[in-house]
Amino acid sequence: MVDLVQVLNDMVGDIITAIPAILGAIIVIALGYIFGSLVGKAVNHLVERIGLEKSFDQSSVGRTFRSAGLDLSNVIGMFVKAFIIIISIIFAIEILNVGGTLGFYLQEIAAYLPRLLAGLLIIILGAVLVDFLASFIGKMIRPMFPPEKVEIADMLKNLLFIGLIAFILLLALDTMLLSGSTVYPLILGFVIIGAGISLTDVLIKSIIEDHSEFKAVAGYAKFILYSVFLIIGAGAIFATFPGVTSIVGNVSWAFAIALALMLVPVAYMLTKRMTKEMN
């Protein structure tokens, strides 16, 4: 028969034995929070004083941050604070030395937190760097094109921006151990759609400027190209799902048939107009 008194004595003894470790862990986390807050505020003020934030606010990413109610100095200060707190949590878990399944999961969580923070940091700082690099290269290549073709330089800048953002996302997801057969097609699909929209806008605008007679069908052409890139992107996104590829293929065929029917009156209108101009 189990001695209830002995069980209670053992429980009380375990609690008393664990009190120093618990107090030590609490003190470590509290000190980490205080130190992290102080260092985070110091970094926040430093970023503001060196003028980095003003330059960042003028970029497209900076404007996006501002519209979301964020600013660069606060974000960097927050990450520094979070990093120090995470380090203190890791030390606290080591001090507690919890065994069993709970201890195993606590150690796994503690080991993953730096990866999570690093991945988020890669996304934010990477977006800042990508925006700066794309803008810098865009300004460099702009003089290579005549004034009436300056949109081509903007298109190349946008394509570079999209490609680098995709790379940053992949790098961040790899760091956070979230990459896989589902993530890569998803990013690829969105890159295809984004690049396709950028290419379509510039292509249609350039054609209209050089050949004003195609202005009447520009809307049709834009719709067609948008749809093509959307279908290709959707096919890439859902490529890993069983059965979806055949569905996308059927949709593509249906779209091609509908497109052919839509182009009949357009072709007739263009032919009629060109015949009038020739006469």
pLDDT for residue 243 is more than 50 = yes
Stretch 39-53: mean pLDDT: 80
Residue 35, burial from CB neighbour count under 10 angstroms (0-12, 13-18, 19+): middle
Mean pLDDT of 226-246: 72
State the pLDDT confidence band at 107, using cuts at 50, 70 and 90.
Answer: confident
Please give, one letter per residue, the 3-state secondary structure of 147-194.
HHHHHHHHHHHHHHHHHHHHHHHHHHHHHCCCCCCCHHHHHHHHHHHH
Please compute the mean of the pLDDT values over residues 118-128 and round it to a whole number: 83
Segment 233-259 mean pLDDT: 67
* Confidence at residue 117, expressed as pLDDT on a 0 to 100 scale: 83
Ranges 93-97, 134-138, 189-193, 236-240: which has the least confidence: 236-240
Q: How many of the other CB atoms lie within 10 Å of CB of 9?
A: 11
The alpha carbon of 103 is separated from its chain's Cα centroid by a whole number of angstroms, namely 33
Quote the pLDDT of residue 269: 66
Q: Is pLDDT of 177 > 70? A: yes
Does residue 135 contact residue 101 with C-beta atoms inside 8 Å? no
pLDDT in tens, 1-29: 446 666 566 666 666 666 777 788 888 88
pLDDT for residue 1: 43
- The confidence score (pLDDT) of residue 248 equals 62
